[in-house]
Amino acid sequence: MRTALLLIALAAASSPALSQAPAPAPGNVKAVPAGPPVKVDLGPGASRDWPPAFDVTKPEKTPLSPGMYVFRFPVAGIPRTWGVYVPRRFNPEGGPPLGAVVVLHDTGSSGKDFLALGKWREAAEQRPFVIIAPDAAPDASGKPGAFTKSDSPANVDELARHNVMLVRRIFELLGTRGNVDPNKLYVAGHGTGGRMAAILGFELSGMVAGVGSVGGPISVDAKLPHPVALALVHGRKDTVFPLSGGKTPVEPLWRDWAGQLGCSTKIATFPGIPGLLAQSATDCVSGSEAALFVVDDTGHGWPTTFDTAGTILDLFLRRPLLPRAPHKGVITFK
């Protein structure tokens, strides 16, 4: 098994009506069916339990070969823990670089539990990604709390700012490996973790290439400095963050994000999975994409009628970091 030195590196670092588009071109958005349970060999060291944590503030050699690892470092004086799942295809000393996805749990969960709930490890074994699952900072009970209480990138709370620091540092640490592609860094999350993921799309625009938010809508009341792709998944029966109404109705959020990407008003609707409405704006001047998946039989919980993690990762595969600024003329959907 190859090992390598993991170093701390703080580098740096009015509108026409919608029309239905024809059937999707090859390579456009596609929801992956859940299908029957499939046993995936998670490779060496992929325990369902957290292994002992490496303190990355110490100058020691830490292995980052295929398997499951846990790291720890302080952010704003608070110890933070994050798990890393490295798929079997990862080669620390060469070979094609992999993308990296930070996945953020909902309030009351943990990084460990979210890895299992979302089946992120299984999805990563079928796609070229390293998966990173941090715990939110502990609440008064000592357990992981919420990543943010904010619903807007224009009004970011202190919790979110600390998590921006955390995710930036995680990506910078992974960047010292040399075989993680800096143009394929992404964030995804569920509930308040999904809101935090969307906020990171604004705060780390230019570093983060795409965002996946499941049951975690935010207001798009800030400007994206750089194109960031979006996969927005929401349960039609969600009562925590309702699909329609409230402060953050989901469809307008998706359309506003697509407008910032300079997408046309042609929205493609994709059939294929019963009980799932899949729509995407892919005709975008910026070269990016914004997709919406509405799941009929799901509330605020993690959707299980299709492969949610796999669908998000597939969109990420299509959308690496873009080298140019976003389209200046924002299209407003109504």
pLDDT in tens, 224-262: 989 999 999 999 999 888 888 777 888 888 999 999 999
Starting at the edge strand that comes first in sequence, how are the strands of the sheet with 210-214 ordered? 19-20, 266-270, 276-281, 290-295, 229-235, 210-214, 180-190, 98-104, 129-134, 78-86, 67-75, 53-55
Q: How confident is the model at residue 11 (pLDDT cuts 50, 70, 90)?
A: very low
Model confidence at 66, in pLDDT bands (50, 70, 90)? confident
Q: Is the pLDDT of residue 95 over 90?
A: no
**CA pair distance 73, 132, nearest whole angstrom:** 14
Mean of pLDDT values over 54-65: 58
> Which domains can be identified in the chain, with CATH numbers?
19-35+44-318 (3.40.50.1820)
| C-beta of residue 207 within 8 angstroms of C-beta of residue 167 | no
Banded pLDDT at 221 (limits 50, 70, 90): confident
pLDDT interval class at 62 (50, 70, 90): low
Choice between 111 and 269, residue whose per-residue pLDDT is larger: 111
* 305, 306, 308, 309: CA torsion to nearest 10: 120
For the stretch 125-147, pLDDT in tens is 999 999 999 999 988 888 899 99
Question: Worst-scoring range by mean pLDDT, 34-38, 96-100, 171-175?
Answer: 34-38
pLDDT at 107: 94
Share of the chain above pLDDT 90, in %: 44
Q: Which amino acid is at 271?
A: P
Per-residue pLDDT at 155? 82
Give pLDDT tens digits for 271-297: 668 888 888 888 888 889 999 999 998
pLDDT tens digit string along 169-201?
999 888 775 578 899 999 999 999 999 999 999
Confidence of residue 97 (pLDDT cuts 50, 70, 90): confident
The mean predicted confidence, pLDDT, of the chain is 79
The mean per-residue pLDDT over the stretch 79-88 comes to 90
